[in-house]
């Protein structure tokens, strides 16, 4: 009978290990955790209180300001006198022009953006909340926030380190180390590439940062390309769909998305992407999450051809977006 007891114990043990492993995978990749609602952040900012998801995180008043606006039939926030085409948008505060070009057998979508002030450059989160495993398609987040133009962000939820600051609130201050380049957006609308090994998130907040993105690497700084022809993100191939954002000067920005992984578009290397950003006039430029995440949405329409495997054109769900609008 002892052998039956051992077999039963082995079966129970295997079942427990399988259940635990299954839960661990769910917790890591599916179940939302450490969730902070943007609504609660806004309420805390208004009341003057603060909270955080890490020891040095703190809140501040959102950079958004209240202005008179209406909503277009497509769902995006806009001025009542806006002039809109399928490739452009212009009102008293925002001007956007989107053009397409072919770079090294790859279709590239370039949005040239002018805004009256930095309050029109914002971040949006999936489910309007910060937390692990919170994901929505770029177009869904875009619709939720009423954006005119949007691109996918840094997919902060894919990692548990790296600074995360959105619209003035510091959600995560855990450094990813000296190999991590971040993009910092300041209250005056300027952008800067920094290294997490050189500065803390709290120090950046004290300098006036409103948004910090932690994907990278930095592509352009002071008008000079930072990457070489051999530079590549560790988890990606040499040629990929890409997403990047850059600044020509405060109030003048560029957002770029490229196709890739298809017979029509092979994708760009980081060096090629940096060249496109510099050629677009950027003095600062930064690489965001690419691959299947790369998506640009204009007036609630997906502009590019997002794909993960090259066989199906469809959006990947992501943690966050960067958008133009109120």
Q: What is the DSSP string of 141-158?
A: HHHHHT-SEEEE---GGG
Contact 211, 221 (CB under 8 A): no
Burial 15-35 (b: 16+ CB within 10 A, else e): eeeeeeeeeeeeeeeeeeebe
Q: CA-to-CA distance for 305 and 100, rounded, in angstroms?
A: 13
Contact 133, 156 (CB under 8 A): no
Q: CA-to-CA distance for 194 and 207, rounded, in angstroms?
A: 13
At 320, list the tokens. 């966050």
What confidence score (pLDDT) does residue 237 get? 56
What confidence score (pLDDT) does residue 238 get? 72
Q: Give the up-direction half-sphere exposure of residue 1: CA atoms within 13 A in the CB hemisphere.
A: 0
67, 96, 207, 250, 272 from 120: Cα distances, Å: 11, 12, 20, 12, 29
What confidence score (pLDDT) does residue 37 get? 74
Phi, psi of 144 (to 5 degrees): -65, -35
What confidence score (pLDDT) does residue 68 get? 38
At 271, list the tokens. 């060096």
Summarize pLDDT for 290-318 with one digit per residue, the tens. Answer: 999 999 999 999 999 999 999 999 999 99
The whole-model pTM stands at: 0.82
Q: What is the DSSP string of 297-321?
A: EETTEE-S---SSSSS--PPEESEE
Place of tokens 């592509």: 219
What confidence score (pLDDT) does residue 99 get? 98
Mark the ranges of the chain whose per-residue pLDDT is less than 50.
18-29, 43, 46-62, 64-71, 73-74
Classify residue 243 as exposed, middle or buried by CB count within 10 Å of its CB (0-12, 13-18, 19+): buried
């Amino acid at each position: 009978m002892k052998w039956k007891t051992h077999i039963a114990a082995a079966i129970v043990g295997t079942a427990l290990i399988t259940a635990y492993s299954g839960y661990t995978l769910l917790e890591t990749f599916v179940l939302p955790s450490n969730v902070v609602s943007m609504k609660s952040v806004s309420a805390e900012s208004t009341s003057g209180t603060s909270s955080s998801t890490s020891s040095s995180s703190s809140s501040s008043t959102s950079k958004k300001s209240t202005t008179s606006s209406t909503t277009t039939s497509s769902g995006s926030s806009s001025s009542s006198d806006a002039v809109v085409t399928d490739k452009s948008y212009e009102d008293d505060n925002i001007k956007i022009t989107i053009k397409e070009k072919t770079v090294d057998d790859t279709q590239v979508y370039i949005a040239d953006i002018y805004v009256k002030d930095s309050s029109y450059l914002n971040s949006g989160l999936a489910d309007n909340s910060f937390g692990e495993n919170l994901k929505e398609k770029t177009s869904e987040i875009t619709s939720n926030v009423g954006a005119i133009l949007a691109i996918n962000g840094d997919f902060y939820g894919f990692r548990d380190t790296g600074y995360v600051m959105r619209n003035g609130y510091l959600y995560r201050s855990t450094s990813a180390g000296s190999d991590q380049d971040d993009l910092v957006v300041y209250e005056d609308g300027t952008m800067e590439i920094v290294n997490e090994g050189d500065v803390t998130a709290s120090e950046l907040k004290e300098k006036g940062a409103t948004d910090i993105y932690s994907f990278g690497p930095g592509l352009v700084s002071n008008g000079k390309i930072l990457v070489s022809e051999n530079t590549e993100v560790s988890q990606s191939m040499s040629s990929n769909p890409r997403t990047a954002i850059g600044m020509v000067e405060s109030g003048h920005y560029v957002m770029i998305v490229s196709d890739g992984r298809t017979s029509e578009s092979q994708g760009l290397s980081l060096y090629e992407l940096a060249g496109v950003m510099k050629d677009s006039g950027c003095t600062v430029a930064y690489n965001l999450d690419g691959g299947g995440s790369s998506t640009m949405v204009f007036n609630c329409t997906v502009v590019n051809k997002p794909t993960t495997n090259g066989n199906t054109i469809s959006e990947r769900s992501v943690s966050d977006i960067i958008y133009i609008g109120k």
